[in-house]
Amino acid sequence: MHTATQVHPVSRWVIFILALGAGFSVAALYYAQPLLPLMGADLHLSIEGMGLVPTLTQAGYALGILFLLPLGDRHDRRTLILLKSAALALFLLGCSLTGSLHSLLMVSLLMGMAATMAQDIVPAAAILAPEGKQGKTVGTVMTGLLLGILLSRTVSGVVGDAFGWRVMYQLAAASIAMIGVLLWAVLPRFAAHTTLSYPALMRSMEHLWRRYPALRRAALAQGFLSVAFSAFWSTLAVMLLERFHLGSAVAGGYGIAGAAGALAAPLAGGLADKLGAGKVTQLGAVLVTVSFAMMFLMPALGVQGQLILIALSAIGFDLGLQSSLVAHQNLVYSLEPQARGRLNALLFTVIFIGMALGSALGSQLYTLAGWTGVVALATACGGIAFLIRLSESARVNRVELQSR
């Protein structure tokens, strides 16, 4: 078996399987959302109990990112992906067999941790990418990941209605088992980049955070964009119901606008290869800011116009957010190729903090200032992200001038 440190062409088939793996594994985080009423009726759960299921799954994912992703620098990534896919398939199957809230919550937490195989697949794609094509390759795999997020709720809603929630989890387990076998078959072995012990590996993350100002600015800029994104999506359904008397199906329909962002990810990666990742992050932040600011025009429009404007804004800011994410990952991976796992963990930890803050702040602001408050928060966060990217560009220019 050859190793990923050797120079060899990586086929489109391998990149396609990586994209598929990222999509199917991250989808495990979102299957539950449309199935909660069915789970609640079957297991006699309260609304609070149902709400804990996606919360525990997301918490498991956040813990997995922080504590499991750094292992990618210490061990063969191919082995880690196989182990996580086996664990995720077992936990999904276990979820379909649960009979109580406690076992459901425990399995949800573990499922979230195992679903971080999606974040092992993205650095693997960066390592396998041909010279000069890293951005495009990472972008293609991110498209799979983003489509997994986008389509998982739709698929689970349809399957749950037709066959019940347990069948959905059994099908999900089968899909992950299949993907795990495919990935094991097509991936090369990956050389370990460090011999640090696990505690030393975790401590080294603090040193990486301090050593690279570019990492801090990338994480903070993407973190602010995540606040904007999360504030919008966590309050949209409530706003549509209160203002337009539209149900959650319509709010879910707006999620399809996110497909534009998902499908644009490879384009953003290709642009990052040509123009430089820094430029693409600035363009992404501008697009997010302008897209949210457009919603200040809503009071001047009729009902139809307002609903169309929200859809256009969703397409615009999702495209900006995903372009910026792909470019930031590109930027961060290039800082220290031997530490990609830890760099990815740091980037996504800050992104998840942003997501959590966005949900909390968005709900608070919606209560205090209505939809205008949410739009103001999202626009301000997009603007802050742009300023962070500008300051990073100025810092890089200063360093280049000094080195001449």
Measured CA to CA, the distance from residue 187 to residue 253 in angstroms comes to 36
Residue 119 CA from chain centroid, whole number: 9
Using an 8 Å Cβ cutoff, are 51 and 40 in contact? no
pLDDT score at 249: 60
Measured CA to CA, the distance from residue 316 to residue 260 in angstroms comes to 8
Bridge partners of 189? 3
Question: Could you tell me which residues come within 8 angstroms of residue 389 by beta carbon, excluding any fewer than 6 positions away?
Answer: 217, 221, 278, 281, 282, 285
Answer yes or no: same fold for 1-193 and 194-404: yes
Measured CA to CA, the distance from residue 93 to residue 98 in angstroms comes to 9
pTM: 0.80
Measured CA to CA, the distance from residue 268 to residue 264 in angstroms comes to 6
Measured CA to CA, the distance from residue 143 to residue 266 in angstroms comes to 7
Residue 255 CA from chain centroid, whole number: 14
Using an 8 Å Cβ cutoff, are 111 and 88 in contact? yes
CATH superfamily assigned to domain 194-404: MFS general substrate transporter like domains (1.20.1250.20)
pLDDT score at 9: 59
Chunked mean pLDDT (size 10), the chain, 404 residues: 52 91 93 82 82 82 91 92 97 94 93 94 87 80 84 81 91 97 93 88 93 95 94 82 76 67 71 83 96 96 94 90 89 89 91 84 89 96 96 76 68
Q: Which fold has domain 1-193?
A: Growth Hormone; Chain: A; (1.20.1250)
Residue 200 CA from chain centroid, whole number: 27
pLDDT score at 362: 86
pLDDT score at 132: 75
Sketch the domain layout of the chain as residue ranges. Answer: 1-193, 194-404
